[in-house]
Amino acid sequence: MKKPMGIAGLCLGLLAVSASSADLNAGRMLVLKGNDRGATACQTCHVSDGSGNAAAGFPRLAGINAEYLAKQLHDFQQGTRNDPVMQPIAKALSDAEIKDVSAYFAAQRTAVSLTLSGDALVAHGARLALSGLWDKGIPACVSCHGPAGRGVGGHFPGLAGQHANYIAKQFDAWRNGTRANDPQSLMKGIALRMPKDDIAAVSAYFASLAPAK
C-alpha cells in the first residue's frame, strides 16, 4: 500500500534534490573557462586542480569544505570579505555556479611540496598551533581547525597544506577589517592578539602539513 506523499515528505524530497544538485562537471567548466558574465576562469590563479600558487599567495582550494567555499563566495558578493580581484568574480557567479565550483574544488586532491620539518620556524609554529598562546588568550589552532588541521565542518576551514603567505595575509585582513566574515568575530579577536612573528610561524607550520587525503 503506497501512501500519498505528504507535504513534509515532498519538502524533504525537494531539499534532498537541491542538496545534491551540485554539478561537478559544470563546476569544472567554470574553473577552466569562467562564464560569459565576467567571471574569469578560476584556474588562472587557483590552477585547475585547486593547488593555488604559493609564491603569489593565491590559496589552495583543493579539498576545502564546499560549504565553506560557497560561503566565502557569497561573502565576497556581499562585501563582508573584501578583495579587489575576487569580489567582481564572485558577483558574476549565480548561486548555482557557486555551488558547482565549490563542490568541484572540494573534491580535488593534490599533493603539496612540504616544507622541511626541521625548520625552526615550523617547530615554533607547531608548538603554537598544538598548544595555543594562552597568555594572549589564544587557544590551540587545532582545537577548532581539527587535530591535523584538516578543517571541521563548514565554518572551520582546513589549513593543512595551505600556502603560508595566504594564511598570514588573512591575519592582516582580519586585523584591518577587510575580512569580517568569521563567525562571532572569532578570528578577528585572535588576529588582533597574535604577535606578528607567531603569525609567520603558524602559517609556516600549516603550510608544511599534508592536506586532506
Partner 1 sequence: MANTFFLRHLIAALLVSAPWFIPACASAQATTPFAPPSEDSLPADKFGDMVRQGKDLFVHTDKLRGKYVGNGLKCVNCHLDAGRLADSAPLWAAYTIYPAYRKKTNEVSTFEQRLQGCFEYSMNGKAPPPGGPELTALTAYSFWLATGAPVGVRLPGQGYPKLDKPAQSPNIARGAKIYAAHCALCHGENGGGTQAEGAYVFPPLWGKDSFNWGAGMHQVNTAAGFIKANMPLSKPNSLSDQEAWDVAAFVNSHERPQDPRFRGDVAATKKAFHDEQCFYGDNVDGHVLGSRRK
Give the interface with partner 1 as residue ranges (CB under 8 A): 131-132, 134, 137-139, 143-144, 146-148, 150-153, 155, 183-184, 186, 189-190
**Shortest reach from residue 169's CB to partner 1, in Å:** 21
**Shortest reach from residue 152's CB to partner 1, in Å:** 4
The single-letter code of the amino acid at 26 is A
Q: Give CA–CA dist 88/177, Å, rounded.
A: 19
**Shortest reach from residue 144's CB to partner 1, in Å:** 7
Nearer to partner 1, 70 or 160 (CB): 160
Nearer to partner 1, 164 or 190 (CB): 190
**Shortest reach from residue 137's CB to partner 1, in Å:** 6
Nearer to partner 1, 168 or 187 (CB): 187
Nearer to partner 1, 74 or 127 (CB): 127
**Shortest reach from residue 85's CB to partner 1, in Å:** 29
CB count in 10 Å sphere of residue 126: 20
Q: Give CA–CA dist 209/198, Å, rounded.
A: 17
Nearer to partner 1, 88 or 189 (CB): 189
> Can you name the residues that pair with 179 across neighbouring β-strands?
81
Answer for the pair 145, 157: CB distance below 8 angstroms, yes or no.
yes
CA distance readout (Å), 116 to 75, 119, 130, 200: 35, 6, 18, 15
Q: Which of 79, 72, 68 is nearest to 212 (CA)?
A: 68
Secondary structure (DSSP) of 4-17:
PPPHHHHHHHHHHH
